[in-house]
């Protein structure tokens, strides 16, 4: 039985670090940089979400599924079509907006499931240790061993492609991903004296988890999940691109890229536009995750 290693006790702790020597101007610049790194990506994401979810409520957009073949291949900024139309006359901007809806819906759903199920499993495993931990860890390991894309393909084949099945398949990836992070963060906190102090104070286990452990692992889980959302968006886009995700004529960024792929040399913008949308979204998510990690001091 391996118990935790005994601590090496220092007679007195290390002295406090020497104060920083940056002068006031540099300090202001640092602060501004930190704020920008946080609010610029956050702003971008807010704008993206607003465009995808609020804009259709406010104005009527052209259909994203049917188009008038007469008006195909319109260039951007033409009358009535902000970004033009594609080969079949479907408005590109609308496709972007509704495709974005799908992307966010799926990724947020997968992440929510991941946090709910994976997070719970991870915290329980990390806190309980012993055979519970061993069992849950094996389950998570098995889940994470499934290659997400292949699994999604299989499910799509078997059950038919749909948004719901996509979410299911990608959750198999999301749950263990969050689960491991949650377990790791819980293990770190578990070893801290204030958890033992809470146990000594008589606090029940569930309350310890809820009020001591969870608040202290939330920063880690949030920053990880932001990156995770980006990953899921890309995975979902890949699946759509391969034809195993959202099926045409329902729009999605992956579908747009697939459609535009055929005439890439002639009209590269059909591939470029959704690709840039993907890029901006995932980059903003990553930057926001990094900035939050910096602010909250998560390792």
Residues engaged in binding another protein (CB under 8 A): 1-16, 18-24, 27, 192-194, 196-204, 207, 212, 215-216
Q: Give whichever of 66 and 211 is closer to another protein, judged by the CB atom.
A: 211
Contact 102, 252 (CB under 8 A): yes
Q: Give whichever of 22 and 150 is closer to another protein, judged by the CB atom.
A: 22
Q: Give whichever of 66 and 207 is closer to another protein, judged by the CB atom.
A: 207
Q: Shortest Cβ distance from residue 186 to another protein (Å)?
A: 14
Q: Shortest Cβ distance from residue 221 to another protein (Å)?
A: 15
Q: Give whichever of 10 and 145 is closer to another protein, judged by the CB atom.
A: 10
Q: Shortest Cβ distance from residue 124 to another protein (Å)?
A: 17
Residue 297 Rama label (left phi>0; alpha psi -120 to 50; beta): left
Q: Shortest Cβ distance from residue 213 to another protein (Å)?
A: 10
Q: Shortest Cβ distance from residue 227 to another protein (Å)?
A: 23
Q: Shortest Cβ distance from residue 253 to another protein (Å)?
A: 39
| 26 contacts: CB under 8 Å, gap ≥ 6 | none
Q: Shortest Cβ distance from residue 131 to another protein (Å)?
A: 16
Three-state SS annotation for the chain: CCCCCCCCCCCCCCCCCCCCCCCHHHHHHHHHHHHHHHHHHHHHHHHHHHHHHHHHHHCCCCCCCCCCHHHCCCCCCECCECCCECCCCCEHHHHHHHHHHHHHHHHHHHHHHHHHHHHHHHHHHHHHCHHHHHHHHHHHHHHHHCCHHHHHHHHHHHHCCCHHHHHHHHHHHHHHHHHHHHHHHHHHHHCCHHHHHHHHCCCCHHHHHHHHHHHHHHHHHHHHHHHHHHHHHHHHHHHHHHCCCCCCCCCCHHHHHHHHHCCCCCCCHHHHHHHHHHHHHHHHHHHHHHHHHHHHCCC
Q: Give whichever of 13 and 80 is closer to another protein, judged by the CB atom.
A: 13
Q: Shortest Cβ distance from residue 181 to another protein (Å)?
A: 19
Q: Give whichever of 3 and 145 is closer to another protein, judged by the CB atom.
A: 3
Q: Give whichever of 203 and 286 is closer to another protein, judged by the CB atom.
A: 203
Contact 45, 38 (CB under 8 A): no
Q: Give whichever of 158 and 202 is closer to another protein, judged by the CB atom.
A: 202
């Amino acid at each position: 039985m391996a118990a935790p290693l005994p601590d090496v006790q220092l007679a007195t702790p290390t002295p406090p670090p020497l104060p920083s020597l940056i002068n006031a101007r540099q300090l202001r610049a640092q602060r501004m940089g930190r704020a920008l790194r946080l609010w610029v990506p956050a702003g971008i994401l807010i704008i993206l979400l607003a465009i995808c979810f609020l804009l259709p409520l406010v104005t009527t957009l052209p259909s994203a599924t049917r188009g008038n073949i007469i008006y195909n291949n319109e260039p951007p900024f033409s009358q009535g079509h902000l970004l033009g139309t594609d080969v079949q006359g479907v408005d590109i901007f609308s496709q972007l907006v509704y495709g974005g809806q799908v992307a966010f819906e799926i990724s947020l759903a997968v992440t929510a499931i991941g946090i709910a199920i994976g997070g719970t499993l991870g915290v329980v495993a990390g806190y309980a240790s012993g055979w519970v931990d061993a069992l849950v860890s094996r389950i998570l390991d098995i889940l994470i061993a499934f290659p997400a894309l292949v699994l999604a393909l299989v499910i799509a084949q078997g059950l038919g492609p749909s948004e719901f099945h996509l979410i299911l398949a990608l959750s198999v990836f999301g749950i263990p991903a969050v689960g491991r992070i949650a377990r790791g963060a819980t293990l770190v906190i578990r070893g801290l004296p204030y958890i033992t102090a809470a146990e000594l104070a008589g606090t029940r286990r569930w309350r310890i988890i809820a009020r001591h452990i969870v608040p202290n692992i939330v920063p880690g889980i949030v920053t990880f999940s932001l990156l995770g959302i980006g990953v899921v968006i890309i995975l979902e886009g890949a699946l759509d691109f391969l034809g195993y995700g959202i099926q045409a004529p329902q729009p999605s960024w992956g579908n747009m890229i697939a459609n535009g792929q055929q005439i890439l040399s002639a009209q590269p913008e059909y591939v470029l536009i959704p690709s840039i949308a993907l890029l901006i979204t995932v980059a903003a998510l990553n930057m926001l995750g990094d900035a939050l990690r910096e602010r909250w001091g998560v390792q």
